[in-house]
Chain A
Amino acid sequence: MPKILVIAEHNGAKLNTSTAKTVACAASMDEAIIDVAVFAADASFIAIEAAKLNSVKRVMKYERSENEHSLAAIIAPQIIAIAEEYTHIFAPSTTFGKDLMPRVAALLGVNQISDVMSIESSRIFKRPIYAGNAIETIEIPMQDIVVATIRIASYAATTNGNSATIESGNPSKVKLPTHTRFVEIKSSVTDRPDLQTAAKVVSGGRALASEENFDIIYKLAGKLNAAVGASRAAVDAGYVPNEMQVGQTGKIIAPDLYIAIGISGAIQHLTGIKDAGTIIAINKDAEAPIFEVADIGLVADLFIAVPELIEALN
Chain B
Amino acid sequence: MEKILVGLKRVVDYNVRVRVKSDSSGIETEGVKMSINPFDEIALEEALRIKERGEASEIIVISIGSTEAQQQLRTGLAMGADRAILVETDSQVGSLCVARAIKSFIDRDSVDLVILGKQAIDGDNNQTAQMLSAIWDRPQATFASQLEIKGDKAMVTREIDAGLEVIEIDLPAVISADLRMNEPRYVKLPDIMKAKKKPLEITALSDLNIDQGPEIKSLLFEAPLERSRGAMVNDVAELVATLKEKGLA
**CB of B189 within 8 A of chain A?**
no
Cβ of B126 within 8 Å of any chain A Cβ, yes or no, is yes
Cβ of A40 within 8 Å of any chain B Cβ, yes or no, is no
**Interface size (B, Cβ < 8 Å)?**
84
* Chain B CB within 10 Å, residue with most, of A268, A291, A292, A296: A296
Which residues from chain B contact A297 at a C-beta distance below 8 Å?
230-233
Interface of B is mostly: mixed
B145 near A141: Cβ-Cβ < 8 Å: no
Contacts of B234 in A (CB 8 A): 298
Asked whether A305 lies within 8 Å of B236 as measured between CB atoms, the reply is: yes
Residue A48 lies at the interface, judged by CB distance under 8 Å to chain B:
no
Determine whether the beta carbon of B227 is less than 8 Å from that of A185. Answer: no
Q: Quick check: B131 and A103 within 8 Å, CB to CB? A: yes
Does chain B have a CB within 8 A of A88? no
- Expressed in whole angstroms, the Cα–Cα distance for A196 and B222 within the complex equals 27
Q: Cβ of A212 < 8 Å from any Cβ of B?
A: no
Q: Is B163 an interface residue (CB 8 A)?
A: yes
Per the bound structure, the CA–CA distance linking A185 and B229 in Å amounts to 41
Q: Chain B residues with Cβ under 8 A from A106's Cβ?
A: 96, 99, 130-132, 134-135
Contact of A115 among B124, B158, B165 (CB under 8 A): B124
B232 touches A136 (CB 8 A): no
B12, CB-defined interface residue at 8 Å: yes
**Cβ contacts under 8 Å, A257 to chain B:** 248
Beta-carbon nearest neighbor of B122 in chain A:
A130
Name the B residues within 8 Å of A101 (CB-CB): 130
> A264 contacts which chain B residues (CB < 8 A)?
none
A61 contacts chain B at the CB level, 8 A cutoff: no
Chain A contact residue count (CB 8 A cutoff): 88
Task: Give Cα A299–Cα B123 distance, bound, in whole angstroms.
Answer: 35
Residues 65-105 of chain B, each 1 if its beta carbon lies under 8 Å from chain A, else 0: 00000000000000000000000000000111001000000
Q: Are the CB atoms of A130 and B12 closer together than 8 Å? A: yes
CB atoms of B145 and A242 under 8 A apart: yes
Cα separation A8 to B116 with both chains bound (whole Å) = 27
Q: Which of A131, A295, A312 contacts B240 (CB 8 A)?
A: A312
Q: Which residues of B contact A296 (CB under 8 A)?
A: 230-233, 239, 242-243
Q: For A115, list chain B residues within 8 Å (CB).
A: 124
Query: Inside 8 A of B165's CB, which chain A residues have their CB?
Result: 182, 184-186
List 4 additional A-B contacts (Cβ < 8 Å) besides A135-B224, A249-B179.
A183-B167, A241-B164, A243-B159, A295-B230
The 10 A-B residue pairs with the shortest CB-CB distance, nearest first, are A187-B163, A102-B130, A295-B230, A106-B131, A106-B134, A141-B214, A102-B127, A183-B166, A137-B220, A95-B160
Give me the interface of B with A, judged by CB distance under 8 Å. 12, 14, 17-20, 27, 94-96, 99, 118-119, 121-135, 137-143, 145, 155, 158-170, 173, 178-180, 211, 213-224, 227, 229-237, 239-240, 242-243, 246, 248-249
